[in-house]
């Protein structure tokens, strides 16, 4: 049923909550887990007075992405196949492109469960993937 499971990670607690589900499904179905982190190229702080230069921003994003991948792969069961994938771009678009290009059977993602103003201001990568993904999406809510 599931041969390729995509686990997008960003180092957040919500992404970590999805790890156990992805790992258990991979063990059950003999699937490969593609652990994907996106170095977000949208520098919200780039301006003459705000601080981060474009190069410094992208470098920090790549470092965060690599750390998120390492932590996720280390936390997954040892007896499953994993693929480490780091991409650069806008997270929502990059994840959706990966789903379409790699025959992903299932996406497993954590969600913060934000509502109200937080949801409006921050948005939800997971919500966007649920609405637009070609593959089914299993969402795992961060428990409090």
What is this structure's pTM? 0.87
The residue-averaged pLDDT of 86-98 equals 95
Task: Write the pLDDT tens digit of every residue in 9-29.
Answer: 999 888 888 999 999 999 999
Q: What is the pLDDT of residue 113?
A: 56
Q: State the residue for tokens 């993904």.
A: 133
Q: What is the pLDDT of residue 127?
A: 86
Secondary structure element (H or E) that encloses residue 110, with its range = strand 106-111
Q: What is the pLDDT of residue 122?
A: 43
Q: What is the pLDDT of residue 133?
A: 96
The residue-averaged pLDDT of 109-130 equals 67
Mean pLDDT (the chain, rounded): 86
The tokens for 118 are 């937080």
The per-residue DSSP string of 2-25 comes to -SEEEEE--SSHHHHHHHHHHHHH
Supply the CATH number for residue 117's domain: 3.40.50.620
d(CA 97, CA 99): 5
Helix (H, G, I), strand (E, B) or coil at 52: coil
Domain count, the chain: 1
d(CA 126, CA 73): 20
**Residue-range definition of the domain harbouring residue 12:** 4-141
Count of positions (residues) in the chain? 144
Does residue 119 carry a pLDDT above 70? no
The residue-averaged pLDDT of 50-56 equals 68
Calculate ∠ Cα 76-81-86, nearest 5°: 75
Task: Write the pLDDT tens digit of every residue in 28-37.
Answer: 999 999 999 9
The residue-averaged pLDDT of 87-99 equals 95
Helix (H, G, I), strand (E, B) or coil at 108: strand
Give me the phi and psi of 37, to 5 degrees please: -125, 140
The tokens for 18 are 């999805």
Q: What is the pLDDT of residue 120?
A: 44
């Amino acid at each position: 049923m599931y041969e390729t499971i995509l686990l997008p990670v960003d180092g957040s607690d919500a992404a970590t909550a999805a790890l156990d589900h992805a790992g258990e499904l991979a063990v059950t179905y003999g699937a490969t887990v593609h652990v994907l982190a996106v170095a977000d190229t949208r520098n919200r702080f780039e301006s003459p007075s705000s601080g981060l230069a474009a190069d410094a921003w992208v470098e920090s994003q790549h470092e965060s992405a690599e750390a998120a991948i390492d932590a996720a792969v280390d936390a997954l069961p040892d007896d499953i196949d994993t693929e480490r994938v780091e991409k650069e771009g806008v997270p929502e678009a990059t994840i959706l492109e990966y789903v379409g290009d790699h025959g992903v059977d299932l996406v497993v993602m954590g969600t913060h469960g934000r509502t109200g103003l937080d949801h409006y201001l921050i948005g939800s990568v997971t919500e966007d993937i649920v609405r637009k993904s070609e593959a089914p999406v299993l969402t795992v809510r961060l428990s409090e």
